[in-house]
Amino acid sequence: MIHKAEWWRLILDHVVASYGRVVWGLEALLPLFDLSARLYLAQIFWTGGIVKLSSWMSTVALFTKVYDVPLLPPEMVAYVTTAVELGGSFLLAIGLAGRWAALLLFGLNIVASISHSQLSEAALQEAFYIGTLFLYFILHGPGLLSADAVLRYLAGRKQTPSRSVPVAATSAP
């Protein structure tokens, strides 16, 4: 016969073990979340860059009349913005220099939100959510399914010695 205290302990052990399995399963999905969020953000900015390239005269006119970016000529801002959108989204999608790509696109998102004079409340809210996702990648990195992770893995393999050296042989007297 199981005592009441033992019964609660048995239930608690079962709940803790079940919780551990759920957390493990969710953490196993984290690389897929990272990849899908990176691809989502990259697609948004890649599309914007392609649209700018497809109608360059309209793009320059947009930067001349709608966006109020100080200090730089509108055509130069159009070039820089298009390069950041295309280059940053490509790097973010493959996860190469993922934190830097996210930082560039995060900055572009902020500048675009501030410099557009007639942005709706919904568009500002969307820019906020996109910025939050960029902050996630700036702080967390691009994840395990990325070129950065592959390079980190290859660099780690290169640094490990091919044969083991005794500890006594490496320490100074």
Q: Is the pLDDT at 162 greater than 90, yes or no?
A: no
67 beta partners = 116
State residue 173's pLDDT score: 46
Q: Which residue has the higher pLDDT, 8 or 39?
A: 39
Asked if residue 12 belongs to a domain, the reply is no
Asked if residue 127 belongs to a domain, the reply is yes
Q: Is the pLDDT at 168 greater than 80, yes or no?
A: no
C-alpha 77/C-alpha 130 separation (Å) is: 21
Q: Is the pLDDT at 111 greater than 80, yes or no?
A: yes
Asked if residue 56 belongs to a domain, the reply is yes
Asked if residue 27 belongs to a domain, the reply is no
The number of distinct structural domains making up the chain is 1
120 dihedral zone (left: phi>0; alpha: psi -120 to 50; beta): beta
Asked if residue 169 belongs to a domain, the reply is no
Asked if residue 24 belongs to a domain, the reply is no
Asked if residue 4 belongs to a domain, the reply is no
Asked if residue 20 belongs to a domain, the reply is no
C-alpha 39/C-alpha 92 separation (Å) is: 8
